[in-house]
Structure 1
Amino acid sequence: MRLLRRLSIRWRITIGSLVIALLLSAVAVVAFRAQVEHILSTTTTTLLHHDAAPYVTEIQTASGTIDDPGTGQLVAVVNPAGRVVVSSLPDRLESRLPTLTALTGDAHTVVASDDTYRVFTKTVTTATGDWHVVSARNQDSAILSLDRITEALVTVALLLVSGFGVASWLLTGAALRPVNRMRQQAEALVAQGSTEPLPIGPATDELSALATTLNEFISEVRQSVDRERQLVSDASHELRTPLAILMTQLELAHLSTGDAQALEAEITSAQHSVARLSALATGLLELSQIEAKTPEGVSTWDELAVEVAAAADRARLLAAPKGVTVDFDVAGEPTEAVYRIAVANFGRIVGNLTSNAISAVPNGGSVRIALRHAKSNLILTVVDSGPGMPDDFLPVAFDRFSRPDDARAKRDGGSGLGLAIVHAIVSRAHGEITLANGAGFTVTVSLPTIA
Structure 2
Amino acid sequence: MILRRLSIRWRLTLGSLLAAAVFFGLAAFAFYGQVATILADTTETLLQHDAAPIKSEISAGATTVVAPGYAQLVAVLDPQGAVVETTLPHDLAKHTASFLAFPDEPQPVRAGDDDYLVLTQHVSTAHGSWTVISARNLEASTLLLDRLTATLIFGAVAFTLGFALTSWMLTGAALRPVARMQRHASELSKTGSATTLPVGPAHDELSALAGTLNDFIVAQQHAVARERQMVSDASHELRSPIAVLRSQLELAHLRTGDAAALEKSIVEAERSLQRISTVATGLLDLAEVEAGHSAGKADWGELVAELGEAADRARLAGSRSNVTVDFDAEDTVRGQCESEQFPIAVSRFGRLIDNLTTNAINAMPEGGDLRMALRRSRGELVLEIRDTGPGVPEDFIPVAFDRFTRPDKSRSPATGGSGLGLAIVKAIVQDAHGSVELSNHGGGGLVVRVRIPRSDEFER
Question: Shorter-chain TM-score: which interval?
Answer: 0.7 to 0.9
Cα pair distance change 1:128/1:280, threshold 3 Å: farther
> The residue matched to 1:72 in structure 2 has which SS?
coil
Whole-Å separation in 2 of the counterparts to 1:418 and 1:201: 44
State whether structure 2 residue 448 is matched by structure 1 residue 443.
yes
Give the match for residue 418 of structure 1: 421
Give the match for residue 111 of structure 2: 112
* 1:216 CA drift (Å): 1.4
Cα pair distance change 1:314/1:381, threshold 3 Å: closer
Cα pair distance change 1:312/1:55, threshold 3 Å: farther
* 1:243 CA drift (Å): 3.2
* 1:97 CA drift (Å): 1.6
State whether structure 2 residue 312 is matched by structure 1 residue 309.
no
Moved more, 219-228 or 388-397: 388-397
2:363 to 338, 360, 363: 360
Moved more, 187-196 or 238-247: 187-196
Letter in 1 for 2:105: D
1:320 to 304, 312, 316: 316
Cα pair distance change 1:256/1:295, threshold 3 Å: closer
> The residue matched to 2:422 in structure 1 has which SS?
helix
Q: Deviations over 1:98-125 (max 9, x none)?
A: 2222125732322223222222333556
Give the match for residue 287 of structure 1: 286
**Percentage of matched positions with identical amino acids:** 48
Cα pair distance change 1:144/1:433, threshold 3 Å: same
Aligned length: 446
Contact 1:76–1:84, Cα closer than 8 Å, also in 2: yes
1:350 to 353, 361, 366: 353
Cα pair distance change 1:247/1:106, threshold 3 Å: farther
Alignment of 1:47-446 (within 5 A): 47-56=46-55, 62-103=61-102, 106-123=105-122, 131-182=130-181, 194-248=193-247, 272-292=271-291, 294=292, 303-304=299-300, 306-323=302-319, 324-330=324-330, 345-362=348-365, 365-375=368-378, 377-404=380-407, 405=409, 410=414, 413-438=416-441, 439=443, 440-446=445-451
Letter in 2 for 1:37: A
> The residue matched to 2:299 in structure 1 has which SS?
helix
> The residue matched to 1:82 in structure 2 has which SS?
coil
Whole-Å separation in 2 of the counterparts to 1:214 and 1:400: 29
Cα pair distance change 1:297/1:138, threshold 3 Å: farther
Contact 2:401–2:423, Cα closer than 8 Å, also in 1: yes
Whole-Å separation in 2 of the counterparts to 1:309 and 1:106: 102
Cα pair distance change 1:227/1:47, threshold 3 Å: same
Letter in 1 for 2:446: F
Q: Deviations over 1:211-260 (max 9, x none)?
A: 32232122122112212212222222223333344445555666777888
Letter in 1 for 2:448: V
> The residue matched to 1:89 in structure 2 has which SS?
coil
Q: Deviations over 1:154-178 (max 9, x none)?
A: 3333443444344334434443444
For structure 1, the residue ranges without an aligned partner over 5 or more in a row are none
* 1:435 CA drift (Å): 1.0
Whole-Å separation in 2 of the counterparts to 1:123 and 1:367: 123
Whole-Å separation in 2 of the counterparts to 1:83 and 1:297: 110
* 1:146 CA drift (Å): 1.6
Contact 2:311–2:325, Cα closer than 8 Å, also in 1: no
Cα pair distance change 1:51/1:286, threshold 3 Å: farther
Letter in 2 for 1:327: F
* 1:26 CA drift (Å): 1.9
Cα pair distance change 1:144/1:416, threshold 3 Å: same
Contact 1:246–1:273, Cα closer than 8 Å, also in 2: yes
- Normalised by the size of structure 1, how large is the TM-score? 0.81
Whole-Å separation in 2 of the counterparts to 1:42 and 1:347: 95
Letter in 1 for 2:77: V
Over the residues paired in the alignment, what is the CA RMSD in angstroms? 3.9
For structure 2, the residue ranges without an aligned partner over 5 or more in a row are none
* 1:441 CA drift (Å): 1.4
* 1:269 CA drift (Å): 5.5
> The residue matched to 2:417 in structure 1 has which SS?
coil
Contact 2:300–2:342, Cα closer than 8 Å, also in 1: no
Letter in 1 for 2:239: R
- Normalised by the size of structure 2, how large is the TM-score? 0.80
